Structure 1
Amino acid sequence: MKLFICLFALVATVMTDTNSDLLKSANEQFTANLFGEAMAWIPNSSLVLSAFSLLSPLAQLALASEGPSHDEILKAIGMPNDDVTKQVIKDMGKQLRSVKGVELKLASRVYVGNDAELDDEFNAMSRDVFNSDAKSIDFSNDLAAADEINAWVEDQTNHRIKNLVDPILLRHSPQAVLVNAIYFKGEWSKPFPLINTENKPFHLSLDETIKLPMMYKSDNLKYGESEALEAKLLELPYVGGETSLLIVLPNKIDGINALIPKLRNPAVLNKAIDEMRNTEVNVYLPRVKIESRSELDEILRKVGVEKLFTSEAKVTKLLKGKSLEVSSAIQRAYIEVNEQGSEAAAANDVSLDIRAAFRTTIDLVADHPFFFALMCKSKQLNQNIITFTGVFMS
């Protein structure tokens, strides 16, 4: 029997030190692996991806599985056993739901066919660990079922993610559909004044240039330069101080393809982040708007989750009396980065610009393809958790 999972993203209750360290290291390596494979699958394209949002549904499937497929999933997401997985995922949800200053919505649901029944133990575990509910649905009416699931998805993501499920994917009446939604919206702690935005050159390559709306502000920000990455780094904080957007800009106009393989080693990026220091920076950043649809079947196979998509899957603990395999895995992710400011904030920004003019400043001009990551910080443990990553090409 087939199981179809739909996963999409965007965008901390104190975790124990051990669980927090495990979540951070597991997420970093899984993110690096998945992002690297996704970029290899669709090179030279803008992409936004939330490997972090996959940890929860993959863990859910691991706990519903037995045998090699169970072991493969836990190894891929960096979890040692079921008990630790439950505690880490539960703590992760609490931590993210408590993040301050931004809008962060997390939701999870299991749709079960009318002729199937959710396993009682899995149902209880889903509610307790994953904060997930279950709903019966008639998969035999593929159009109506797709409409119902898509309407729920839109509602959970402020109508940013539309048409996640194609009715064609439900045509063979899957037994269950797992849907995981993460929505993030935040305002800069200091907005980019709208009046500063101008169309400026953006280099697609050494030979091709276009004009894009380029935002500008001057601010005291964390900035760094990495010889190992051959790139400059900048951290832009959101209101509340617990989330930020990291920009990694290659030194060379055509340096993005050389940067991506280096990011497969999380230690290199971590070292560069640790060495960042506050300084006055003139920031030139294009507006960003990316929506990506990623077919994750092959990408997950590349990072070691193989048997889940075969008859060897043995997802035996999700539905009563039935063993399932995964037929498809999809992620839709959306991000928009703009000025997010008001006229009053712009006036305040002008006065800060004037004061900054008497200091030594650094220019960061993001006028060619760059990598970005949304980070959530646990202030209690002073750790950054990367929730999604991407590349902006144009």
Structure 2
Amino acid sequence: MKIIMCIFGLAALAMAGETDLQKILRESNDQFTAQMFSEVVKANPGQNVVLSAFSVLPPLGQLALASVGESHDELLRALALPNDNVTKDVFADLNRGVRAVKGVDLKMASKIYVAKGLELNDDFAAVSRDVFGSEVQNVDFVKSVEAAGAINKWVEDQTNNRIKNLVDPDALDETTRSVLVNAIYFKGSWKDKFVKERTMDRDFHVSKDKTIKVPTMIGKKDVRYADVPELDAKMIEMSYEGDQASMIIILPNQVDGITALEQKLKDPKALSRAEERLYNTEVEIYLPKFKIETTTDLKEVLSNMNIKKLFTPGAARLENLLKTKESLYVDAAIQKAFIEVNEEGAEAAAANAFKITTYSFHFVPKVEINKPFFFSLKYNRNSMFSGVCVQP
């Protein structure tokens, strides 16, 4: 019997004073994000991409706690978490931290839709409520249009109407037993906003042979900056109001350097090593406005990341999920992600569905982001959204 999981994501934040649980989550997320980023850009060569690997972690954590045997162990290996107790502690701590964030609009929400007449396993229901903050609702999946409509309405409400039509009614039928949905939404204003009147069309070099004009924001900003020789790139980090949120942009030195940069970012530690080079300084920034939407087949991506048993009938062994003797597995998984960056700041959202079933008195560096670049939104040293902008 089938299960569906849905996830939404959004965000950017950076905080000091890392605890043991935060360190475990960061290392888990660094590894998972590097792998997922590599798979998603490989599936979308030469295209704009945004993804939220971070928003996939909670539902996979839930499914790990719902599974047994080799399927359970495979999920924990993918999450780089040692056992169930640590898994519970890490995600409970994450939810507490998100609720305490100030200065930006950051929300996480989780909901489990269960087929009419079925119930969650008591222990799993308690963990889902207490650790992941999940709501639970029974729906009639046979009435697929109504069920999909209810799920999609909840998704829209959690993502400020940025993610629409996540679940296709045709994906639901009498064999669907559950849909797991996790949503993360972020909206933040730049600590030092760009002046709209200074925005102008400037050249953006999509490739050595193609140049286009794009609306470009301009301003001298106090940011964190670094030259990163090992990435053959420049890097800036710009804060949002509240100083708990930031956006990192990595700009290759070469017009055609984005592919080489993507390859280097396969290393889970590459981004954190580069961040160690950042220092505070005034920088003259030319940043194009951009908006990106990406739909990702998570079943294919996760399978390429060695999460296979979850999608295999008879091998998923989601025995702790529902009060049923039926053999359950995840039949499909999809993520929809969105990000928009403008003079005011950034707004981002992601949704995943798993069907179970210059010079002044001193030198001012200049960063003219006029060719394909990498971006990352950070929360508590975690990359919650990442992607590449090839053509704004």
Q: TM-score surpassing 0.5?
A: yes
How far the C-alpha of 1:150 sits from its partner, in A, is: 0.5
SS of match in other structure, 1:70: helix
CA apart distance, 1:8:
2.6
Give the structure 2 partner of residue 245 of structure 1.
247
In structure 1, give the amino acid aligned to 2:388. V
- Tell me which amino acid in the other structure corresponds to 1:390: G
Q: In the alignment, is the contact (CA less than 8 A) between 1:142 and 1:173 conserved in 2?
A: no
Say if 1:101 and 1:242, in contact at 8 Å, map to a contact too: yes
SS of the residue aligned with 2:147?
helix
Task: Return the alpha-carbon distance in structure 1 between the equivalents of residues 312 and 142 of structure 2.
Answer: 23
Give TM-score scaled by structure 2 length.
0.93
User: Which residue is 1:337 aligned to?
Assistant: 341
1:369 Cα deviation from its structure 2 partner: 0.6
For the Cα contact (< 8 Å) 1:153–1:162, is it kept in 2? yes
Identity across the alignment (%)? 47
Contact 2:8 2:159 in 1 (8 A): no
Q: Does the Cα contact within 8 Å between 2:8 and 2:185 map onto a contact in 1?
A: no
Which residue of the other structure, out of 376, 383, 388, is the alignment partner of 2:385?
388
Give the Cα separation in 1 of the matches to 2:210 and 2:62.
45
CA contact (8 A) 1:221 1:278 kept: yes
Structure-1 residue corresponding to 2:327: 323
Cα offset for 1:195?
0.6
Q: Tell me, in whole angstroms, the C-alpha distance in 1 between the residues paired with 2:155 and 2:291.
A: 20
Name the counterpart of 1:203: 205
Residue identity opposite 2:340 in structure 1: E
Structure 2 match to 1:130: 132
Matched to 1:303, the amino acid is M
Once the two structures are TM-superposed, the CA of residue 115 in structure 1 deviates from its matched residue by 2.7
Distance 2:80 2:105 in 1: 28
Deviation at 1:220, TM superposition (A): 1.6
Per the alignment, residue 25 of structure 2 pairs with 23
Letter matched to residue 64 of structure 1: A
Letter in 1 for 2:47: S
Deviates more, 1:314-323 or 1:176-185: 314-323
Gaps of 5+ in 1: 342-352, 378-383
Matched position secondary structure for 1:326: strand
Which whole-Å deviations, capped at 9, do the CAs of 1:304-341 have from their partners, x for residues lacking one?
11000001101111110233100011111111100017
CA distance in 1, matches of 2:268, 2:98: 21
For the 8 Å contact 2:191–2:241, the answer to whether it is kept is yes
Give the aligned partner of residue 297 of structure 1.
Answer: 299
Within 5 Å, which residues of 2 pair with 1:152-167? 152-167=154-169
Does the C-alpha gap of structure 1 residues 260 and 16 become closer, same or farther in structure 2, counting only changes over 3 Å? closer
CA contact (8 A) 1:280 1:359 kept: no
Matched length: 375
Tell me which amino acid in the other structure corresponds to 1:226: V
More helix by share: 1
Quick check: 222-231 or 13-22, which moved more? Answer: 13-22
Shift of 1:278: 1.1
Could you tell me whether the CA contact under 8 Å between 1:55 and 1:77 is conserved in 2? Answer: yes
* Gap runs ≥5 in structure 2: 346-357
Aligned to 1:74: 76
2 CA distance for matches of 1:175 and 1:38? Answer: 28
Residue 186 of structure 1 aligns to a residue in which SS? strand
Structure 1 residues 57-68: aligned runs within 5 Å: 57-68=59-70
- The answer (yes or no) to whether the contact 1:295–1:331 under 8 Å persists in 2 is yes
Asked whether the 8 Å contact 1:7–1:329 carries over to 2, the reply is no
Q: Which amino acid aligns with 2:83?
A: N
Structural mapping, 1:1-394, within 5 Å: 1-11=1-11, 17-311=19-313, 312-321=315-324, 322-340=326-344, 357-377=360-380, 384-394=381-391
* Contact kept? 1:101, 1:239, Cα under 8 Å: yes
Aligned-partner Cα distance in 1 for 2:185–2:85? 28
Which aligned runs of 4 or more in structure 1 are off by greater than 6 angstroms? Answer: 12-16
Higher relative CO (Cα under 8 Å, sequence separation at least 6) belongs to 2
TM-score for both structures, normalised by structure 1: 0.92
Are the aligned partners of 2:9 and 2:384 in contact in 1 as well (CA < 8 Å)?
A: no
Distance, in Å, in 2 between the alignment partners of 1:335 and 1:57 is: 21
Q: Give the conservation status (yes or no) of the 8 Å contact 1:242–1:376.
A: yes
CA shift, 1:275, in A, is: 1.0
Question: Structure 1 186/16 Cα, relative in aligned 2: closer, same or farther at 3 Å?
Answer: closer
Decide whether the 8 Å contact of 1:223 with 1:233 is kept in 2. yes
Q: Give the 3-state SS of the residue equivalent to 1:360 in structure 2.
A: coil
Q: Could you say what secondary structure the match of 1:135 adopts?
A: strand
The one-letter code of the counterpart of 2:317 is K
- Give the CA deviation at 1:64: 0.2
Shift of 1:16: 7.3
Asked if the contact 1:9–1:331 (Cα under 8 Å) also holds between the matched residues in 2, the reply is no
Residues 132, 215 of structure 1: alpha-carbon distance in 2 compared, 3 angstrom cutoff: same
